[in-house]
Structure formats: structure tokens, C-alpha cells
Amino acid sequence: MAAGDVLWKTKLPSTDGNNGWVTVHEGVVLTGSDARSEYKGQHRENKMADQFVTGLNASNGQVMWNFKPDAPVWNFMGSFAGDGTFTFQDYEGKAYRCRVDDGSLIWKNGGFENSWTDGTSLLGPNKVVYAVSNRDSNGGRDAPGDVSAYRLEDGKLLWRTEVPRPPNNLPAIGKLVGLSGLSLVQPIGQQCQQGAPTDVYALDAQSGEVQWIFNGPSQKSPLQAGDRIPEAMAQRALAGVRPITLPNPWSAPTIDSNGVVFIGSEEGPFYALADKDGDGQVTTAEVSSFDTHACFSGSAAAAIAPGMLVTTSIDAMYVFAH
């Protein structure tokens, strides 16, 4: 750690081809791997996605196992349960629970055949797995999707709530201003579509009932903020990265200890949200924002430390002191 020396390096067919997370626990590194434009043995155009979830030894990098879900994974993130198991979802919204040591399946449930989302599942402290799904592979500005809750123990469906736009983001879980119990904060919207609106929903984590809604900005142009700047495209190309980001509609949300939600928009603003009057709608008077003039990666969540909050758009890091 002190010197930054390379301890090991392992070559995989590919690592996550999108905005996935690498997670580590119990001596095992989890990642998506072997990204291909393939869906159940058939070529699928413009859907380069990981065919496997791979577990590697965290000490030496040796591949321990590969697990092939029913559909590929997109923006993969494994959530560790702390009992030798982990959970995740595929891009059809099917939730899985597997063993950490060998990748073997314990249960799987849900999902919509032939659908696609770049949203990500989350395991809550209440031992509930929250997964997101759309109903086809195309989505659209007003195409409804679903947020589903599954019991960690056996994968039983506890509730499913329809949202009016694609839930193409990772949710967050925590306690919100003015509400008792846990809430699930789910960003929604269809990215990469000019004129498409975006929203943030707060749901009761136990029942799935809607608690409040924030109506975010609509996408102004064919590309999101920052992506549509020719100079920025040229700089990325010179740096050897793809010239445009094509991100999720929102960053991943973060909930602070006061119950305020922090989240970045594809149109550039970074928001602090709270339904202070409890009327179920987060209005302009209840919102603070800072315009970064650039979109956010869907895997980028604000980090909070005592007296400090840090967030990253696609081109800069912002540090706010309290």
C-alpha cells in the first residue's frame, strides 16, 4: 500500500466492459468478465456485456471460479452478505445469491426475458436484495420499469413497484429526512435520448410504497452534459479513452446521516434532496444544487467523511467542506 507496488496481475478475457464495480471480501475479488455482444448464444448488437461473474483469490490473483448467469451482467456489482454469500443481478433484472468460495448458486429469481437495464442491484442491511429491471431491451423516455425486493434467505419476492421510467441506476438505502424506517432511493430515466425526463423516487424499503418524488432535468441535447463538447471529446481521444461517456441518467445516490440524498445528474447539476415538508414532492425550495457542467458515471457515488463530501463528474473531482 505504501509504495504502490504491483502484488499480482491476472489476465482475464476482459474485465467489466462498462461501469462496473470490483468488490472484495472474505479473500475473494469479484468482477464481471468476458465482455461480448452475445445474449444466450446469439449475437446482440450494441450490447457488449460480461458473460461471467469471476472470483479471484485476493492474495495471489488466481482465478478461483467463473459463474455464468442466465443473461449477461452490465455494470456488475457484487454485494456481500457477510455469511459466505454474495448477491448481484443480470441485465434482465434477475437477482442471484451465490457462495463466495466457489461461486455456486443458492437461488435466483425475477427478471424479464429479452429485457435490458444498466441498473444494478443492492443488498440492504435488512437482508433484502433490491433489483431493477425493464420490460424490453429498448427502454424509452416513458417506458415503465420495476424495482423488486427479494428476501436474502430464500429469494422470495417481497414486493415489486412499477416506476414510470427505466430504473437504469443503482439504488441506495438508508433513513431519509422526516421518515421512519429505511427508504430505498431509486433514480430513473432513459439516458442518451434528447428530451427524456429524469426523476428520483424514494420508496419504503419494507413495502415498496412511494414516499417522495423529485423531478429532475430532461436531457437537453443528443448527448449529455460534457459529452457534447467537441474539445472534451478530442482530449479524451488523445488520452486513449473513448470520446463520449454515454452514462446512466444519474450518478449512484448517497444518503448522509441527516437523511439528505446527494446525487449527480446527466445534465451536470449535483443535487442535495430532502422532502422537508413531507408532502411527497421534493420541490425547488427543498433542493440545493451545484452545476458541474458535466455528466456523472452511474458507478460514481458521493463519498462522505466528517466535515467533507467528495463527488466526481466525468471530468473533475469536487470537494465540499462543511
Give the residue with greater pLDDT, 171 vs 231: 171
Q: What is the pLDDT of residues 121-149, one digit of tens each?
A: 999 999 999 999 999 988 888 999 999 99
In this structure, how many other beta carbons lie within 10 angstroms of the beta carbon of residue 39?
A: 18
167, 145 in Cβ contact below 8 A? yes
Helix then strand then coil, in percent of the chain rounded to 5, is 5, 40, 55
| Alpha carbon distances (Å) from 211 to 150, 154, 275, 308 | 20, 27, 9, 28
155, 95 in Cβ contact below 8 A? yes
Q: For 247-273, what is the mean pLDDT? A: 97
Residues 6+ apart with CB under 8 A from 217: 197, 198, 265, 267, 269
Alpha-carbon distance of 133 to 116, in angstroms, equals: 7
pTM value is: 0.95
Largest CA distance in the chain: 53
Which residue, chain included where needed, has cell 420541490?
283
Q: What is the pLDDT of residues 228-257, one digit of tens each?
A: 888 888 888 898 888 888 899 999 999 999
